[in-house]
Amino acid sequence: MSDEPLNLEKIRARLADARGPQYWRSLDELAATAQFRDFLDREFPRQASEWNDPSPVSRRRFLKLMGASLALAGLTGCSFEQPQEQILPYVTKPDPVVPGLPLFFATAMPLGGYATGLLVRSNEGRPTKVEGNPDHPASLGATDVYAQASLLTLYDPDRSQRVTSAGQPRTWEDFLAALNGALTPLRSNGGAGLRILTEASTSPTLAAQMQALLTALPQARWVAYEPAGDSARLGTQQAFGQDVHPVYRFEQGPRGAVARRRCAAVHAGARALCARHRRRALDAGRREHDEPDLRGRVGADDHRGAGRPPAAAARQRRRGVCPRAGAGTGRRGRAGRGARRRARAAGWKGWSRICRPIAGRALLIAGDSQPPAVHALAHAINAALGNTGTTVIYTEPVVTSPIDQAGGLRQLVQEMAGGQVQALLIVGGNPAYSAAADVDFAGALKSVPFSAHLSLYEDETSALTTWHIPRRTTSSPGAMRAPTTARPRSSSR
Amino acid sequence: MAQVFGPKANTLARLSLLGAFGGAALFMIALVIYSRSPYPAFIQKSPDQPVPFSHQLHAGGLKIDCRYCHAGVEVSAAASVPATQTCMTCHSQIKTDSAALAPVRDSWATGQPVAWNRVHDLGDFAYFNHSIHVAKGVGCSTCHGQVDQMAKVQQVEPLTMGWCLDCHRAPEQYIRPADQVFNMEWVPPADQTEQGLKLIQEYNIQVSRLTNCSICHR
């Protein structure tokens, strides 16, 4: 830094006079040559706040200058001209698309296995809004919160985007290789050790494919687990001894539709649905009879009546007041069956006065969250009121996946914990999270050597399985069916 | 002690004070006048395009109808610039070696769109719908000028809000019969007002609603 040689004598003399430790960064500093001082002043002005070079600038002036700069900086926003925009047209415009006009695509989305008819609005290929499909008999153009929210699922940045294994991204080919490796030994013993866990499904295609698989590998099992429960199916099974599907004909009962539903999410918006059906029926020219409306308005939710067991309901019926099923926590099994037997055997006071006039035009539906016994009771009441065949008909089952007989998942978990499961394929759902508290699915997963989870998100189950595959769409594999699409049975049930 | 300020200092002080305020006021007025004039809005805007497309040749000389390319103008809010496919309907066989058309051929080959520079650009705060204007008798040349005589598209009208309101307040001065909408040579007849009023009745134009803010500022 300095051109002249350092005067070591001077430095030594300086240090000799020092008392205590002396610190220096370089010999030039120690030598304190004029050149070094110059350099230091330029490099590190000792009194920058006063800004002595070239003219005195006080802090006041400094602040004034900076304040003015800040204020005037806003001027850059003033512009009379807009920035140049570009127009990027299609290279090959798809025929039905008119830029600026939306297209509506008819589609469906599954909820609890059942399909909801939807019209999805698409602006230049981007889905922007979900509407109901007015031609679909199950919804008549209504949607629920899940359908509306499904649009956001399409754009959700948290959705998983790659195949992972133990947290590491892998390729699809890697997964296929691992899957093959896990399944090959199982083919020799008829698939014992292979379990496929799905959600409830109404897809005939999936059912056919699973049937083919189970025929080829007879020891494998297909388990369906729906977290919301299978009470409705179990209830009909209890009532009729076989798996049937009730189809409710709201339009048959223009005013007496008794729908005590507890906000069942699967059957979207019962209130609105009943109102739509009623409006449709009224538009079709039916006239209302001038009779007292016994059980309240169409589609009224039952928020009262919590804690009324079916036995009490049966007592009420005997007193001539038709009961409201949808009681909160009915006792299962014995009391339910007993109530049903009593109901069938009892003679009812006031039956001819109250219930007979509405027979055949009333409808009783138990909420989906009710225990199976209450569902069975509701079917019994409908049968007793003579509603079958008019307001409710029973068809072949729409849901094609196996009934989750309370023990379905429990049994699977037991097998998993017992080491009997070598390959577990989980299609959709999040059983590690949604299984009942006393069913240790998450723990049992550790005993399964190969497990794969197909899902939209990397969720609790994906974290525990050996493979996670991102799901591309929310729709189900194969077709879906809505609650009202099945053909009616030929019998007079 | 000598006076610092001479006798003229008072006059100077008063004059400079007046001058300062007066100057500021004049400046503001000038600014307002300038900003409300057409000049800052469009300054005869005619940006260069990646392909030197000539409307004079295609629409004027070859008499290709506007709607062959700008297909959405009667149904959609956006008139839309044609897709590369539309250009290739002719230029896959005509002038296939032209250097000027190279970007079009490249776009067709690679699938990347041709990046046209927008000429008529309203602010994003204003919504404009072509289809309603075309349906109610506003011709193309009323707003875009005689495009079929432009070798290079140029904005000839300011497209300011005031300019739009001139028509919205008195549409009878500007609208034309439906069959003349795409006629670039149309000029308003001598009795335009009378004809215009008849057309307003015919097209069922609610003039009182045309000055509603939310028809454009949604």
Residue A81: list chain B partners with CB under 8 A. Answer: 40, 43
For the segment A235-246, what is each residue's pLDDT rounded down to a tens digit? 888 888 888 888
A225 has a pLDDT exceeding 80:
yes
B41–chain A Cβ distance below 8 A for any pair: yes
B162-177 per-residue burial string, b: 16 or more CB within 10 A, e: under 16: eebeebbeebbebbbe
B68–chain A Cβ distance below 8 A for any pair: no
How close, in Å, is residue A102 to chain B by CA atoms?
10
At residue A230, the pLDDT reads 76
At residue B128, the pLDDT reads 95
Among A395, A478, A471, residue whose Cα is nearest residue A210: A478
Least confident piece of the model among A249-258, A459-468, B102-111, B197-206: A249-258
Nearest to A89 among B108, B111, B113 (CB): B113
Q: What ipTM goes with this model?
A: 0.83
At residue A296, the pLDDT reads 33
Coil, strand or helix at A450: strand
Q: Which DSSP state fits B208?
A: G
Q: Answer whether B120's CB lies under 8 Å from B159's CB.
A: yes
Least confident piece of the model among A154-158, A265-269, B101-105, B142-146: A265-269
Given pLDDT bands bounded at 50, 70 and 90, which one contains residue A199? confident
Among A368, A450, A461, A391, residue whose Cα is nearest residue A175: A450
At residue A398, the pLDDT reads 80
A117 has a pLDDT exceeding 50:
yes
Given pLDDT bands bounded at 50, 70 and 90, which one contains residue A381? confident
Least confident piece of the model among A145-154, A477-486, B122-131, B191-200: A477-486
Nearest to B75 among A80, A86, A98 (CB): A98
Nearest to A99 among B78, B118, B121 (CB): B78
Q: Answer whether A45's CB lies under 8 Å from A29's CB.
A: no
Q: Identify the top-confidence range among A275-289, A303-317, A378-392, B134-148.
A: B134-148
Higher per-residue confidence, A349 vs A64: A64
A79-114 per-residue burial string, b: 16 or more CB within 10 A, e: under 16: eeeeeeeebebbbebeeebbbbeeeeeebbbbbbbb
How close, in Å, is residue A173 to chain B by CA atoms?
29
A141-152: average pLDDT:
89
DSSP element (H, E) containing A120 = strand A114-123
Given an 8 Å threshold on Cβ–Cβ distance, is B81 in contact with A92? Answer: no
Given an 8 Å threshold on Cβ–Cβ distance, is B41 in contact with A99? Answer: no
Nearest to B75 among A81, A87, A101 (CB): A101
Q: Answer whether A459's CB lies under 8 Å from A430's CB.
A: yes
Given pLDDT bands bounded at 50, 70 and 90, which one contains residue A357? low
A21-34: average pLDDT:
76
Interface contacts A/B by beta carbons within 8 Å? 69
Percent of chain A with pLDDT over 70: 68
At residue A337, the pLDDT reads 41
At residue B140, the pLDDT reads 94
Chain B neighbours among A 101-130 (CB < 8 Å)?
A: 101
Count Cα neighbours of B165 within 13 Å in the Cβ-side half-sphere.
7
For the segment B84-135, what is each residue's pLDDT rounded down to a tens digit? 999 999 999 999 999 999 999 999 999 999 999 999 988 889 999 999 999 9
Residue A88: list chain B partners with CB under 8 A. Answer: 113-116
Q: CA-based Rg of chain A, rounded to a whole angstrom?
A: 37
Residue A101: list chain B partners with CB under 8 A. Answer: 72, 75-76
At residue A342, the pLDDT reads 42
At residue A401, the pLDDT reads 80
Given an 8 Å threshold on Cβ–Cβ distance, is B80 in contact with A99? Answer: yes
Least confident piece of the model among A315-319, A449-453, A477-481, B193-197: A315-319
Q: Identify the top-confidence range among A283-287, A318-322, A460-464.
A: A460-464
Nearest to A87 among B84, B116, B123 (CB): B116
d(CA A464, CA A450): 11
A448 has a pLDDT exceeding 60:
yes
Least confident piece of the model among A27-36, A450-459, B206-215: A27-36
* Identity of residue A206: L
For the segment A302-338, what is each residue's pLDDT rounded down to a tens digit? 322 333 334 434 443 433 333 333 332 233 333 334 4
A121 has a pLDDT exceeding 70:
yes
A394 has a pLDDT exceeding 80:
yes
Q: In the predicted model, what is the mean pLDDT of chain A?
A: 73
Residue A89: list chain B partners with CB under 8 A. Answer: 80-84, 113-114, 116
d(CA A420, CA A381): 44
Residue of B nearest to A98 (CA): B72
Residues of chain B below pLDDT 50: none
At residue A324, the pLDDT reads 37
At residue B117, the pLDDT reads 94
At residue B153, the pLDDT reads 93
Higher per-residue confidence, A346 vs A276: A276
Percent of chain A with pLDDT over 90: 28
Residue A102: list chain B partners with CB under 8 A. Answer: none
Nearest to A91 among B72, B107, B118 (CB): B107
A82–chain B Cβ distance below 8 A for any pair: yes
